[in-house]
Amino acid sequence: TAHGAAAPTVGRPHGAQYTAEAFAAVYGAAPTGTWAAPGRVNLIGEHTDYNDGFVMPLALPHTTLAAASPRTDGVLRLHSGDADGGIVELRVDALRPAPQAGWAAYPAGVVWAMREAGLPVGGADLHFESTVPTGAGLSSSAALEIVTALALNDLYALGQEPQQLARLAQRAENAFVGVPCGIMDQTAAACCTEGHALFLDTRDLTRRQIPFDLAGEGLRLLVVDTRVKHELGDGAYAERRAGCERGARALGVRALRDVSYAHLPEALEQLADEPAVQALVRHIVTENHRVEEVVARLDAGRTRAIGPLLTAGHASLRDDFKISCRELDLAVDTADAAGALGARMTGGGFGGSAIVLVEEADAPAVGAAVTQAFAAAGHAAPRIFEAVPSPGAHRIE
């Protein structure tokens, strides 16, 4: 970092004190407060959030912390222990949504979105420290946005609910940063709770906290960060998104969410002369169905029984949505062959991370099998850690 500290260690969040001290070193005074927002994995429901569908993320123990103080002169100063380039200084009344490079667009975009919404937010000094791996499909961008949103919400007494902060952060990422993401990641960072997965309907934003007590049941959820990010990601996302919209139009529905699982065969028949769109529709409709099945099985206390749904979700992303890659396939196939209950890629695809549901006793062997398979295939070593369902964004000091 800019101040000589070691790089963040996965699984060991920087504390509030470390972050407050770093803030003081950068800005010359103690911060008013310190806030945290987590990264996430999505248990099931991939690419459904821009089709008005269902998702089921859970928060990671890895967090982005912000130490912050308000300013009375309309100046916004941003500094991150995980980014080079020193302090970024902006005027809040001069913020304009031009898709722009640079990490500071994420927090600056949140301030812009709040002001656009008529919220009385002024200047601030912010310093960030994070243990969320960036660009690993674990949503470090949403953690950065939501921790900023929560800090400003408190500093300026804006009175926004977590879901409203998520909406503002999504607007920031869409319109200010220029990334056409759905609402899942920001909602996960803002609304997840410890020991639960969050069942979210992305159409009406109704949510339900589903108890997900892995440790209590003798289970583990592993994250395999492949540490690869294949370039075609951004263009492919826009393409998939456009294909889904095309499918919805062809079927005469508002969004693919409105195609029921029971009517999938007819829908596919209707799309017979557009096989590429057909495959996208099949993924979205079966994926929404899998989310509902996962919820049903968890509600019935059958946590182990969600494993095959995870693996089926991976096959659908690989074969129909075509957004997997050989590293993700290798992680999933190896984990399943080594005795995992189920595994799937999580996040946008083309790299990033996979999740593996495994019996506690089998976790070391399954992890070792994946590491070995990567070495044998000549891939860089993956980073493997545990996803413990953790709290959403909160103030820590």
Annotated binding residue at 86? no
Q: Which residues are catalytic?
A: 185
Smallest distance from ligand ADP to CB 41, Å: 11
Smallest distance from ligand ADP to CB 147, Å: 9
Convert residues 123-162 into a mask of x (bound to ligand ADP by CB under 6 A) and - (unbound): -----x-x---xxxxxxxx--x------------------
Q: Are 348 and 228 in contact (CB under 8 A)?
A: no
Does 353 participate in binding Mg ion (rule CB under 5 A)? no
Strands of the sheet containing 33-42, edge to edge, are 88-91, 75-80, 123-130, 57-71, 33-42, 394-395
CA distances to 3, 112, 132, 138, 215 from 38, rounded to whole Å, are 23, 22, 7, 9, 20
Smallest distance from Mg ion to CB 365, Å: 32
Element (DSSP H or E) covering residue 128 = strand 123-130
> For residues 45 and 48, what is the distance between their CA atoms, to the nearest angstrom?
6
Annotated binding residue at 268? no
> Which C-beta is closer to ligand ADP: that of 188 or that of 267?
188
Residue 321's binding partner out of Mg ion, ligand ADP, none, with CB under 5 to 8 Å set by partner kind: none
Convert residues 112-141 into a mask of x (bound to Mg ion by CB under 5 A) and - (unbound): -----------------------------x
Applying the rule CB under 6 A, the residues between 46 and 75 that interact with ligand ADP are 64
> Which C-beta is closer to ligand ADP: that of 162 or that of 347?
347
Residue 130's binding partner out of Mg ion, ligand ADP, none, with CB under 5 to 8 Å set by partner kind: ligand ADP
How many other C-beta atoms can be found within 10 angstroms of the C-beta atom of residue 18?
Answer: 16
Backbone CA torsion sign across 14, 107, 386, 323: negative
Tokens of 366: 């399954």
Annotated binding residue at 196? no
Annotated binding residue at 237? yes
Pick the binder of ligand ADP from 37, 76, 83, 90 (CB under 6 A).
83
Residues 6+ apart with CB under 8 A from 138: 39, 40, 41, 60, 62, 132, 223, 225, 347, 352, 353
Q: Are 144 and 107 in contact (CB under 8 A)?
A: yes
> Which C-beta is closer to Mg ion: that of 108 or that of 340?
108
Q: Are 393 and 31 in contact (CB under 8 A)?
A: no
Binding residues for Mg(2+), as ranges, are: 141, 173
What is the binding site for Mg ion (CB under 5 A)?
141
Residues lying near ligand ADP in the complex (CB under 6 A) are found at 64, 80, 82-83, 103, 106, 128, 130, 134-141, 144
